[in-house]
Structure 1
Amino acid sequence: MRHALRIAAVGMALALGSGPMLAAESAPEAESELATLALRLNGALRPDVVYVARQGSRTYLDEASFATLDLVPRGTAPPRIDIGGRRYVELDGIAGLAHRVDGARQELVLEIEPTALGGTQASLAPGASLRPRRPDWGGFLNYSLFGYADRGTELAPSSQYASGAGEAVVFGPYGSGLVSAVANPSVFGYGQTQKLVRLDTNWRYDDVDTMRTVVAGDAISLPGSWGRAVRYAGLQYSSNFSLQPSFISYPLQSIGGLASLPSTVDIYANNVRLASQPVQSGPFAINNMPMITGAGEMSVVVRNAFGQEQVISQPFYVARDLLAPGLSQFAFDLGVPRYNYGIRSADYRGWLGSLVYREGISNELTLEGRAEGDNHVRGIGLSADALLGNAGVLTAGAVASIGERGTGTRLILGFSRQAQWFSFALRSTWASPDAQEVGEVGELGDLLAAPRLKRLAYATTSLSLGGGGSLALALAKREYWDFPGFDVGTLSYSRSAGPLGFFTLALSRSIGWPNQTQVYAGFSFLLGGSASGSAGYQNTRSGGSNNGYGIVSVQQAPPVGEGYGYRLLAQTDGRAEAGVEYASAIGRYGVEVARAYGSEAVRGSISGGVGFLGGSAFLARPITESFGLVRVGGVAGVDVLQDNVVVGRTDADGQLVISRIPAYNASKISIDPLSVPIDASVSKTREWVTSYQRTGVLIDFALRRERNALLRFVDGAGKPLPVGAMVEVEGRAERYPIGFDGEAFVSNLEGSHRLRVRSPGVVCEIEVKLGAADPAVSELGPYSCKGSNS
């Protein structure tokens, strides 16, 4: 034979000089020795075995095991051979790899330099959030009633009026629609009567998977970085990242290093531990790390199994204004502008359209383009947000417009930096005399009445003084070509007083119209629970007059569930207010009294909601976002919790409406099992839910009421059956033991059931009937077992 075949338990002991191996096979062109060995890589023993071959002085590892080494390809690929139907890779000559066979331990020992390994790639970006279920058809109506009356003064007569507001919402699998309105049916003293004004009417559809929103009807245009938000009726189609709260649209940070042994990596940002990640030997990269906004320092502590540590640090800057590379964002608006919103129901005139598109070009650059137009002007502009190293974000843009004034331009320049201790932002817009934009024309359509902006600039800065408090400064300047401008500046200082509260000092100054200086000093404090208060002094100087007064206020908001809240305010200039509000399961009710400048007034309000979902109609508090209808098997008095806070108890029908569930954010809804009747069993006590905007979600906690019985059994002589006898229920596999005094507790006996009692030498049968009106535990018997011997 050309090829020799040797099968021996000693394997390649002589060829490798390392001791006995497990098996040997034939190989082409030369004698080959085969063995199955354990693998030890960089000191760590792998759980599986590998195939090793020897030809002369060359050593080979089976190709499948070689692929798991995660070596970085360098130069030409190592030679490969086929032996016995299996492919092997030569280990000799691979840069950064040393090998030997430990015959005593039957191991192939590999030492690989960390730089020769592919290493670990890990991402810490959060996973997908809980997606909402498409809702069934339902709806709700919110209402609010308000009444006011005052006594009047010598200069003004008394007045009384009532008003109301409401909205109707219908929702289903294809989105949600709403109609809202305000009404002033009676106004005494002001000459207005019978006034009803429609506010908004639209239909909205959210596509959570693609993060897109469509609104048909009344909407507000999305302005981008330089336009105006304008009310209109028409069609809006836009990106909406808020549909997935866990989605991160801005560029995330990455950091890497080299681990000589399998290690654990701890990641810190500004000395705050963010995450921990195991890594293998070799280079590692931790990508997509959610960070705090702004500038800071990121550190990675690499700790191996021997307790050795290395620390890697690098500065970072996270800018939420930027988009991640390749990510785009857009908004399209087309419709008819609306004027006199809240005054007239349907004052629509002309047309408008706008398109905004943003795209992340790289981690450091995001570009935005916007085009707009209406009856008076057409405009187009381009802007860019650029991250300058770790210094901050530079914003620059240019806009050109052609309108009734002529051709105009605007330039935008800004820079912002946010950091742990010191942050600031600067932004300025310059406009030519003929510059114009959509939405600039006033309610009457008079272009000349609209002031022409020349320059708008603002600057803000904040400084953290550590234990010494924090300092903030804000400046704004507005100049017009044909109208007086004004400047405003505010300086504030705040400092914590520990558990007592915090101190605030604020100074503001406006120059132009009007010229005014205002100073406020105050202290805010907690009173226990949700109650809080404040005390301070405010002085205002304007137009040569000086007005100063002290202020004391105390307030407590109503609880999340049912309960009261209050508000008290007193000023040294004679003004005083007091109010109380009660929140019930079906509404909110408030009353306030006030006195100021020689006049007294009283105000009252009532608000609530009416809804329909899952075949049930209900009353509720005002539904401002989304809601949940909780059902607990028709059982009243069960405590319901939202995110571990009690929000109420089920009513007589076993239902409770949670009137505020934030849309697209997961909420944990649960019931307190201790409040469930003893004769009831539930399959679950909590459920994570999320909902679409302005919709409802049905949360059903299936509950089954049980009728149980404590039965007593005696023998023919009237003595209790002995302990250990068993009770069987026909049709069930369970058996129930008889305890002391011949008593046995048998569960779930509602209806008619036949029971058999087995005791040494005695067998008897009885029939038990329990109805829904029977108590949770019925005491039955004694039953005499006089049956025949079995």
Structure 2
Amino acid sequence: MRATRPCRWTALAASVAAACAPFGSLAAPAVPASPGLSSPSTLDLVDAEDDRLPVPAGAEELYLEVSLNQSVTGQLARFLMLDGRLHASAATLRGLGLQWPGSDDAGSRLVALDTIPGLQARYDAGRQHLALTVPLEALSAEREHFGPSAAPPPRVDPASRAPGLLLNYDLYAQGDGDHRSVSGWHELRLFGFGPGLWSNSVVSRATRSPGKDDNDTVRLDTAWRLDLQDSMVSVIAGDTYTGALQWTRPTRIGGVRIARDFALQPYRVTTPLASFAGEAALPSTVDLFIDGIRQSSQQVRPGQFQIDSLPRVSGAGQAQMVITDINGQSRVVDFSLYSSAELLQAGLSDWSLEAGLVRRDYGLRSFAYADEPMASATLRHGVNDLLTVEAHAEGTAELAMAGAGAQVMLGRRGGVLDLSLAGSRHEGRAGRQYGGGWQWASPRFNLALSSLRRDAAFADVASLEDSPLARRSDRAFAGVSLGRVQLGASYLRQDRAQQPRARYANLSLSWQLPRAGYLSFNLNRDLEREDSVHAYLYWSMPLDRRTSVSASARHASGTDGLTVEANRSVDYDRGGWGWRAQASAGDAASAQAEINRLGAHGEWAAGVHHTGGEGGRNTGYASASGSVLLMQGHLFGMRRVDDAFALVSTDGIADVPILLENRLVGRTDAHGLLLVSRLNAWQNNRLSIDPLQAPADVSLDRTELLAVPESRSGMLARFPMRPVLSLQVGLTGADGRPLAAGSPVWLHDADPASAPPLTVVGYDGLLYLEDPPADARLRIGQNGGFCEAALPSVSAERGLVELQGVVCR
């Protein structure tokens, strides 16, 4: 353990000698400064307790700066020169990071340096420097650790919070000669009024057919949500859902949910980091490569080190550490690694707690809930980088269910093993569920197997509401990647009580064709029916960035069809027009044409669909989606908002171009406002202004900001700016000649003896002023004295105004 003196020691040898102790003058060859790591500006004294040890008779006491294996340690240490040999206490040597046979039992006794196996010492008396060189096994310092820096999560600026009311809508209507239908989905959000967010969503339907009309409106979800970013916890009161694992089911409830939410800190890495350990005898540079791509470069000191890297790969990969010492010699260390997003970092937990009433007939009835309350709890915890354990429990007054599971990484190449076991008790019957799975992935191959089995008595809360569980679910998948070609095969089996067994097999092929074309083939077979073979062939080719053509052929149980299509998508950032045309031939001949438009206030589409054959029918349809926002005293129409958005304000300045992540997303309106949707909640969203494209007669306080909105809410992103009135004044003296360049200028009420000049006169008597006071008078230094000039009144409030012939008298 290293002890330090209260005083700090300068790295200069002369200052050390003057401040701390007399030094010997034993001649020795100079030691060159280490090229690996720079010397620190201050030095720590190792093992100050040595001052209490007696100095043997005839010994010379030295305080020397120490380098170890050509690496500057930044430490001073106390040595004794006795009979021409350097000595130090065992405590001092251990403080320098050395170990040797018997060092742990040596206490603080003096040790001659030349008695330590493999140690070489070079003493430079002029620089008061001691260079030690030891073998790698003699270094006892703790392992040097390098890893990605844990940057603090982006913070929501309190000044950006603003109350608002948002209505999302999605409308659809269609009709033919006899039938009409209109449906709509609406979501109302209230944010910024106190903590949390209120939301309510409904769906409405209206149909009309000969002799029958049907209209209804159903409430979907009503909830209040509070996000606590620092603790990564979300609280939801109202309609929500329970937590679930791979071997459990989520259930819609009306009640309260408290859960860990990693989305509140999206930059935090939750999966285990890839760790690589090594050692270096000299100061070295370590370059880390994963699958041939360099991930980091670190400067390491002699000794052991560990580098943690973000999990750049999913599945199996290969890593190399290239260790290059200060002499230019390199060596490569290879590692196999495996990464899985399903595992949690050691010590990290994911959990949720819920209580309430199970939701019934969701989407069909507005207020249908179970009679008995339920409760649920889910937990995942990273025990270490190879093991994540899970647990889940739920129950009502009639049922109790609980289980546990684990996800285990099988070494560095073996994939991930999933295991689970659960039991339930309902109406006096005990049920059991058990499952297992294994998955392995690499850049070329993917394999996955899973099975979940239940006996007839096993039940969960959802099964009490007419949602029965499958008795058996088996899945298998194998895939291979051959460059541009992807091959896959899968198998699925599901057994349900009182229902026929279902088994399916699937083969798929996808091929990235030259010139960005794409081809895929899919073959599906119901193994329980001999005549149920489905085949689908699809081809597409882009013609430009937004236009493409495609064709598909299908075969299913004796029916065949061919479809061709051409479409042009809409540029989402800038909006515009899009269209789609499709024609199908075969057993179900049809044709369809559609146009759509995306603007700043929403999106709409309209089209017609023709069904051929006997009794052919034409059906027209139209849709519209968008939002209506009330915020900052203004009513806006905007695109539909699924997550977060910002209201950009330029303080009333119109026609200012706004960029999101360097992409132009619009210009401010006559009120200096622009709505920017599609922001990422709890993340840094870079909003900026191109000053070269901004109006020339405005002053910008800043041209860029990082907008951090809360989830599903709006924020105010303000760019402070103001209009500027600029005057270019042509000044002449009483003789009509332009004033001399460099003449200082003050406002009339300023004291030239104490106040600095406001500006100076330019060439040809030109003076440039921004936002001068109305009817301002100027005092201008001339030939050791002053003259005064009165600026004429200007009616303009902004822009550049030229004034000529202003006389200074």
Post-superposition offset of 1:628: 0.7
Post-superposition offset of 1:422: 0.5
**Residue range with higher mean Cα deviation, 456-465 or 121-130:** 121-130
CA distance in 2, matches of 1:222, 1:9: 68
The residue number in structure 2 matching 1:577 is: 592
C-alpha contact 2:23 2:128 (8 A) present in aligned 1: no
Alignment of 1:544-623 (within 5 A): 545-573=558-586, 574-597=589-612, 598-614=616-632, 617-623=635-641
1:267 and 2:284 correspond: no
Percent of aligned pairs with the same amino acid: 28
Indicate the SS of the match to 1:670: strand
C-alpha contact 1:518 1:538 (8 A) present in aligned 2: no
The residue number in structure 2 matching 1:198 is: 219
The residue number in structure 1 matching 2:175 is: 150
C-alpha contact 1:711 1:745 (8 A) present in aligned 2: yes
Alignment of 1:178-327 (within 5 A): 178-184=199-205, 187-189=208-210, 191-287=212-308, 289-327=310-348
Residue type of the partner of 1:621? R
Alignment of 1:95-494 (within 5 A): 97-103=119-125, 106-117=128-139, 118=141, 119-124=143-148, 126-133=150-157, 136=161, 138-144=163-169, 146-152=171-177, 158-172=178-192, 174-184=195-205, 187-189=208-210, 191-287=212-308, 289-350=310-371, 351-374=373-396, 377-389=399-411, 390-404=413-427, 406-442=429-465, 445=466, 453-467=470-484, 469-494=485-510
CA distance in 1, matches of 2:686, 2:24: 63
CA distance in 2, matches of 1:51, 1:69: 11
Q: Deviations over 1:13-59 (max 9, x none)?
A: 35x7779xxxxx99744244345655443235677876654344453
**Residue range with higher mean Cα deviation, 722-731 or 291-300:** 722-731
Residue type of the partner of 2:400? R
Post-superposition offset of 1:688: 1.3
Post-superposition offset of 1:205: 1.2
C-alpha contact 1:593 1:602 (8 A) present in aligned 2: yes
Change in 2 beyond 3 A, CA 1:43/1:232 = closer
Q: 2:730 aligns with which of 696, 712, 716?
A: 712
Post-superposition offset of 1:575: 2.1
1:507 and 2:528 correspond: no
The residue number in structure 2 matching 1:741 is: 764
Residue type of the partner of 1:108? L
Alignment of 1:7-26 (within 5 A): 11-13=23-25
CA distance in 2, matches of 1:536, 1:376: 55
CA distance in 1, matches of 2:735, 2:271: 85
Q: Deviations over 1:76-111 (max 9, x none)?
A: 376659xxxxxx997564555432313466532221
Post-superposition offset of 1:180: 0.9
1:676 and 2:694 correspond: yes
Indicate the SS of the match to 1:76: helix
Change in 2 beyond 3 A, CA 1:408/1:145 = closer
C-alpha contact 1:433 1:452 (8 A) present in aligned 2: no
C-alpha contact 2:517 2:540 (8 A) present in aligned 1: yes
Q: Deviations over 1:519-548 (max 9, x none)?
A: 22222222323x142422322222xx3222
Q: Deviations over 1:719-765 (max 9, x none)?
A: 22333434334557355343443222223325453322223366321
CA distance in 1, matches of 2:323, 2:434: 48
**Residue range with higher mean Cα deviation, 332-341 or 91-100:** 91-100
C-alpha contact 2:166 2:628 (8 A) present in aligned 1: yes
Post-superposition offset of 1:769: 6.2
C-alpha contact 1:522 1:534 (8 A) present in aligned 2: no
Q: Deviations over 1:258-314 (max 9, x none)?
A: 212211111111212211111111221113543311111111111123321111111
Q: Deviations over 1:294-347 (max 9, x none)?
A: 111111111123321111111111122222222222222211111111111111
The residue number in structure 2 matching 1:777 is: 800
Alignment of 1:741-760 (within 5 A): 741-749=764-772, 751-760=774-783
C-alpha contact 2:653 2:723 (8 A) present in aligned 1: no
CA distance in 1, matches of 2:432, 2:314: 33
The residue number in structure 2 matching 1:22 is: none
CA distance in 1, matches of 2:72, 2:315: 44
Indicate the SS of the match to 2:137: helix
C-alpha contact 1:176 1:204 (8 A) present in aligned 2: yes
The residue number in structure 1 matching 2:711 is: 693
Residue type of the partner of 2:286? V
CA distance in 2, matches of 1:769, 1:46: 72
Paired residues, number = 754
Post-superposition offset of 1:63: 11
Indicate the SS of the match to 2:263: helix
Q: Deviations over 1:573-594 (max 9, x none)?
A: 4422222222222222222222
What runs of 5+ residues in structure 1 fail to find an aligned partner?
1-5, 20-24, 82-87, 153-157
Change in 2 beyond 3 A, CA 1:560/1:56 = same
CA distance in 2, matches of 1:357, 1:189: 55
CA distance in 2, matches of 1:29, 1:49: 21
TM-score, structure 1 normalization: 0.88
C-alpha contact 2:166 2:630 (8 A) present in aligned 1: no
C-alpha contact 1:509 1:518 (8 A) present in aligned 2: yes
Change in 2 beyond 3 A, CA 1:407/1:42 = closer
TM-score, structure 2 normalization: 0.86
C-alpha contact 1:452 1:482 (8 A) present in aligned 2: no
Indicate the SS of the match to 1:301: strand
Indicate the SS of the match to 2:543: strand
C-alpha contact 1:553 1:570 (8 A) present in aligned 2: no
Indicate the SS of the match to 2:692: helix
Residue type of the partner of 1:538? A
Change in 2 beyond 3 A, CA 1:776/1:69 = farther
Residue type of the partner of 1:127? A
CA distance in 2, matches of 1:511, 1:381: 33
Post-superposition offset of 1:515: 5.4
CA distance in 2, matches of 1:236, 1:46: 54
The residue number in structure 2 matching 1:85 is: none
Indicate the SS of the match to 1:572: strand
Residue type of the partner of 2:553? Q
Change in 2 beyond 3 A, CA 1:741/1:13 = closer
C-alpha contact 2:175 2:181 (8 A) present in aligned 1: no
C-alpha contact 1:520 1:536 (8 A) present in aligned 2: no
Post-superposition offset of 1:233: 0.1
Post-superposition offset of 1:656: 0.8
Alignment of 1:720-735 (within 5 A): 720-729=738-747, 733-735=756-758
CA distance in 1, matches of 2:389, 2:620: 54
The residue number in structure 2 matching 1:84 is: none
Indicate the SS of the match to 2:121: strand
**Residue range with higher mean Cα deviation, 236-245 or 116-125:** 116-125
Change in 2 beyond 3 A, CA 1:719/1:694 = same
Q: CA RMSD for the aligned pairs?
A: 3.2
Change in 2 beyond 3 A, CA 1:501/1:479 = same
C-alpha contact 1:143 1:164 (8 A) present in aligned 2: no
C-alpha contact 1:451 1:482 (8 A) present in aligned 2: no
**Residue range with higher mean Cα deviation, 103-112 or 43-52:** 43-52
Indicate the SS of the match to 1:384: strand
